[in-house]
């Protein structure tokens, strides 16, 4: 199979991407992934070129640290065999292509809408007519939750088919938050506008998305950033992981009505995000990551504060973490709730923390390292049960791990980097892909530039894109009252999915 092989965050001329017939494309990519756990599709998308649709498939190989790119052109009215028939991880990508361009697949298992975008192919398709899966039965009942929820969360509709208290099937319909982010990247031409757009993709993964965006643009512009900038970004990335994981632990405790855990973890999250406020003036770290430079260098004073914050945080966090791992009433709620088998996780293409909960190793920090992760010898934390408790333990251990990494990175800082704004222009006719490991998992940004260096296509994939299906499958045969804690233990993004 004729692939173009690149590294994470490397740019290549767009026309170097090999083009083949759809049959070669389908068979080549399918057989490349088949049977190899280390290979998974990170991005599969289409670009309209007159009456043709250029399909580009990026397959990451975790063992060789490469990304293999191939492409094909099909007519817009084509009827195709689907990847999903043999590899379920493509299911969501193909539904998206179908929805946006009207490509028909003959053997796709379930070709339903992803998010009803306004610029979709079928303008008459309405969210209110979403084709929900139905089961008829005397003793079955349907419970619909949302799209407006009681708590302060984003809109999404969940439809349960239950037998009494037991969930038989859950279908999740999203798309209410669709803002057309990918199109906005093309409409907004100023770099600052685009950076702010990247910060707004998902409010809880500001660093994750903005670093992915920055590395992508630096690669497309052909500029290299200084080591201090890389260290600062990596520290910020790990701090974000600590903050969100801790907040999630608090929310998980709330969902099982464990007040002590809820309030202690809630309190512990605050000093971490307050440190972001001290560092860059925003508790969610908006405004901190900028393309090409670091506007807020880590000064000696800030480093001293960071050390203080972490030293105060760690003992309390460890103590509470120990408490929730030995309290019987907690364990009875967490263990064997929301379980997923290793094979299921691998087949549907789950990424990040949700994949690592049952021995599927997906961690961009080790498989496609960026920033200074290659120097940290990162070892992903892997659990083997796939239940809520595994997800809780991953969070607990990742927080401790991240604290250790931050301490090591602080020691790496040699001098303050000069803060200067490089002038650069995107190189023309280039393709680049950038992967980062946000706290939720693999974040993927890709861009293609045109003849005069303008963006002609921008593509984003949030980890939630695939992981929502993992949530829907994990709650099968659970009690419906255990759904909230399962949901919270995944803590997926609505806006990151809807874009």
Partner 1 sequence: MLSLILILFCSLFFTGILIRTKSIASGRKGPGILQPVRDVIRLFKKGSVYSETTSIIFRIAPSVYFASVLMACLVIPFGPYKGIVSFNGDFIFFAYILALGKFFTIISAMDTGSSFEGMGASREALYSMFAEPAFFILIGSFALLTGNTSFYNIFSSLHLGSSITYMLGVLAASVLIMIAMIENSRMPVDDPKTHLELTMIHEVMVLDNSGFDLGLILTAGYIKFAMYGAIISGFFISGFSLPWAISVFILIQALFAVVAGIIESFMARFRMSHNPQFILALSSVSFLIFLGVLLVLEKFV
Helices (H), 222-361: 227-255, 259-280, 300-324, 328-334, 342-347, 353-356
Measured in degrees and rounded to the nearest 5, phi and psi for residue 132 equal -70, 150
Q: How many CB atoms sit inside 10 A of residue 428's CB?
A: 14
Select from 203, 295, 297, 484 the one that contacts partner 1 (CB under 8 A): 484
Cα separation, 242 vs 312, in Å, equals 14
CA distances from 461 to 51, 80, 401, 467, 497 (A): 25, 23, 26, 11, 8
CB of 144 to partner 1, least distance (A): 7
In the numeric block, which tokens belong to residue 233? 């970004």
Place of tokens 């349907």: 142
Q: How many residues bind partner 1, per CB under 8 A?
A: 32
Residue 224 β-bridge partners: none
137 binding partner 1? (CB under 8 A): no
Determine, following the binding rule CB under 8 A, whether residue 421 of this chain makes contact with partner 1.
no
Residue 483 sits in the site that holds partner 1 (CB under 8 A): yes
Nearer Cβ to partner 1, position 128 or 259? 259
In the complex, the smallest distance separating the C-beta of residue 348 from partner 1, rounded to whole angstroms, is 24
Rounded-to-integer distance, Cα 18 and Cα 433, Å: 16
Q: Does 150 bind partner 1 (CB under 8 A)?
A: yes
Q: Which is nearer to partner 1, 159 or 362 (CB)?
A: 159
Using the minimum distance from each CB to partner 1, give the nearer residue, 179 or 385.
385
Nearer to partner 1, 337 or 358 (CB): 337
The distance from CA 359 to its chain's CA centroid, rounded to whole angstroms, is 18
144 contributes a contact to partner 1 by CB under 8 A: yes
Contact stretch for partner 1 (CB under 8 A) within 13-21, 254-262, 379-387, 447-455: 254-262
Q: Does 258 bind partner 1 (CB under 8 A)?
A: yes
- Burial category of 335 from C-beta neighbours within 10 Å (exposed 0-12, middle 13-18, buried 19 and up): middle
Residue 20 bridge partners (DSSP):
72
| Residue 23 or 141 having the CB closest to partner 1 | 141
325 binds partner 1 (CB under 8 A): no
Q: Is residue 330 a contact residue for partner 1 (CB under 8 A)?
A: yes
Under the binding rule (CB under 8 A), the answer on residue 480 touching partner 1 is yes
**CA atoms within 13 A of residue 201's CA, in its CB half-sphere:** 32
d(Cα 52, Cα 30) in Å, to the nearest integer? 22
Q: Which of 35, 118, 128, 259 binds partner 1 (CB under 8 A)?
A: 259
Taking the complex as a whole, the smallest distance from the CB of residue 484 to partner 1 amounts, in Å, to 4
Instruction: Give the whole-angstrom CA distance, residue 196 versus residue 70.
Output: 31
Helix, coil or strand: residue 415: coil
Asked if 255 is part of the footprint of partner 1 (rule: CB under 8 A), the reply reads: yes
Q: Which helix (H) or strand (E) holds 455?
A: strand 455-461
Q: Is 319 in the site for partner 1 (CB under 8 A)?
A: no
Q: Which two tokens stand for residue 21?
A: 């017939």
Please state the closest distance from residue 314 (CB atom) to partner 1, in A.
19
Please name the residue ranges forming H helices in 153-258: 181-187, 191-199, 206-221, 227-255
Q: Which is nearer to partner 1, 63 or 477 (CB)?
A: 477
**Residue 54 beta carbon to partner 1: minimum distance, rounded to whole angstroms:** 44
Q: Is 151 exposed, middle or buried (0-12, 13-18, 19+ CB in 10 A)?
A: exposed
Question: Under the criterion CB under 8 A, does residue 135 sit at the interface with partner 1?
Answer: no
Contact status: 477 vs partner 1 (CB under 8 A): no
What is the Cα gyration radius of the chain?
22
Strands 430-437, 442-449: pairing is antiparallel
315 is a contact residue toward partner 1 (CB under 8 A) = no
Q: Which is nearer to partner 1, 144 or 222 (CB)?
A: 144
Q: Which is nearer to partner 1, 396 or 445 (CB)?
A: 396
The answer to whether 41 and 17 have CB atoms below 8 angstroms apart is no
Q: Cβ closer to partner 1: 89 or 320?
A: 320
Binding mask 158-197 for partner 1 (x = CB under 8 A): -------x--------------------------------
**DSSP state for residue 173 in the 8-state scheme:** E
Candidate residues 142, 308, 343, 379; the one interacting with partner 1 per rule CB under 8 A: 142
CB 389 → partner 1: shortest distance, Å?
12
Half-sphere exposure of 79 (CA within 13 A, CB side): 2
Number of neighbouring beta carbons within 10 Å of residue 6 = 20
Out of 178, 269, 333, 356, name the contact with partner 1 by CB under 8 A.
333
Q: Is 491 in the site for partner 1 (CB under 8 A)?
A: no
Stretch that binds partner 1, among 56-64, 236-244, 251-259, 422-430 (CB under 8 A): 251-259
Q: Which residues bind partner 1 (CB under 8 A)?
A: 141-145, 150-151, 165, 253-260, 262-264, 267, 327, 329-330, 332-333, 337, 479-484
């Amino acid at each position: 199979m004729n692939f173009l092989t690149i590294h994470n965050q490397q740019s290549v001329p767009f026309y170097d991407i090999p083009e083949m017939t759809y049959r070669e494309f389908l068979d080549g990519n399918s057989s490349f992934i088949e049977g190899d756990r280390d290979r998974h599709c990170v991005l599969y998308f289409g670009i309209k070129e007159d009456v043709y649709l250029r399909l580009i498939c990026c397959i990451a190989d975790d063992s060789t640290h490469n990304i293999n790119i191939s492409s094909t052109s099909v007519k817009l009215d084509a009827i195709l065999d689907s990847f999903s028939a043999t590899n379920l991880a493509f299911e969501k990508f193909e539904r998206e292509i179908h929805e946006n361009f009207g490509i028909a697949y003959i053997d796709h298992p379930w070709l339903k809408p992803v998010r009803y975008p306004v610029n979709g192919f079928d303008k008459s398709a309405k969210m209110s007519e979403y084709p929900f899966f139905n089961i008829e039965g005397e003793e079955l009942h349907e419970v619909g939750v949302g799209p407006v929820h009681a708590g302060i969360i984003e809109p999404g509709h969940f439809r349960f088919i239950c037998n009494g208290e037991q969930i038989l099937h859950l279908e999740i319909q999203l798309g209410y938050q669709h803002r057309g982010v990918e199109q906005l990247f093309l409409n907004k031409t100023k770099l600052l506008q685009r950076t702010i757009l990247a910060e707004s993709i998902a409010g809880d993964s500001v660093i994750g998305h903005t670093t992915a965006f920055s590395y992508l643009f630096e690669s497309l512009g052909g500029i290299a950033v200084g080591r201090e900038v890389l260290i600062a970004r990596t520290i910020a990335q790990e701090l974000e992981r600590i903050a969100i994981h801790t907040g999630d632990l608090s929310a998980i405790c709330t969902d099982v009505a464990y007040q002590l855990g809820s309030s202690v973890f809630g309190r512990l999250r605050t000093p971490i995000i307050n440190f972001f406020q001290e560092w860059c003036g925003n508790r969610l770290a908006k405004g901190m990551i900028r393309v090409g430079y670091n506007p807020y260098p880590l000064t000696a004073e800030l480093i001293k504060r960071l050390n203080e914050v972490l030293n105060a945080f760690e003992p309390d966090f460890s103590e509470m973490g120990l408490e929730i791992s030995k309290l019987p009433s907690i364990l009875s709620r967490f263990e064997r709730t929301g379980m997923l088998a290793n094979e299921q996780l691998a087949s549907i293409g789950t990424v990040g923390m949700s994949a690592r909960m049952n021995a599927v190793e997906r961690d961009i920090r080790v498989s496609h390292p960026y920033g200074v992760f290659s120097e940290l010898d990162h070892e992903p934390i892997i659990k083997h049960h796939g239940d809520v408790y595994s997800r809780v333990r991953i969070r607990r251990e990742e927080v401790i791990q991240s604290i250790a990494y931050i301490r090591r990175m602080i020691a790496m800082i040699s001098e303050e980097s000069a803060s200067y704004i490089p002038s650069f222009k995107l190189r023309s006719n280039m393709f680049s892909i950038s992967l980062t490991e946000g706290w939720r998992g693999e974040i993927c940004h890709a861009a293609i530039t045109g003849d005069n260096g303008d963006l002609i296509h921008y593509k984003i994939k949030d980890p939630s894109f695939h992981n929502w299906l993992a949530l829907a499958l994990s709650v099968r045969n659970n009690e419906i009252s255990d759904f909230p804690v399962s949901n919270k233990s995944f803590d997926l993004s609505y806006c990151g999915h809807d874009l």
